[in-house]
Amino acid sequence: MASLCKYAATCPVFTTALGPLPHIGLRYRRAYCRGGWGECARFKVAEAAGRAAVPAGLLPNELQAVRELVTAP
Ligand code: SF4
């Protein structure tokens, strides 16, 4: 059984506070929060730079933003 991301309890994507459309949020939760969290942009930034560095609106598939957020001075 897939494990749940350790940030799920307070992550706006998982708690549904974020998401342009409900079905998109559901897709994110299935693809990332319930097992694919290692590939999530939010997870990657939180792990590398701390949760405070994760922009509120960052979506799990916005991987292009990770490098910039993690390496920004
Ligand atoms: S996988 Fe990403 S979007 Fe899902 S709870 Fe973890 S940090 Fe949030």
pTM, 2 dp: 0.88
Nearest-CA residue for atom 8 of ligand 1: 11
- Separation CA 17–CA 8 (nearest Å): 12
The number of the ligand 1 atom at minimal distance from the alpha carbon of 54 is 7
Q: Which residues line ligand 1 (CB under 6 A)?
A: 5, 7-8, 11, 13-14, 32-33, 37, 40, 42-43, 60
Q: What percent of the chain has pLDDT over 70?
A: 88
Which residue's entry shows tokens 């974020």? 18
Chain segment 35-66, per-residue pLDDT in tens: 999 999 999 999 999 999 999 889 999 999 99
Provide the mean pLDDT of the chain: 88
Where exactly are the structural domains of the chain?
8-71
Atom of ligand 1 nearest to the CA of 46: 7
Instruction: Tell me the CA distances in angstroms from 14 to 18, 63, 68, one per residue in order.
Output: 8, 18, 24
Lookup: tokens for 1: 């059984």
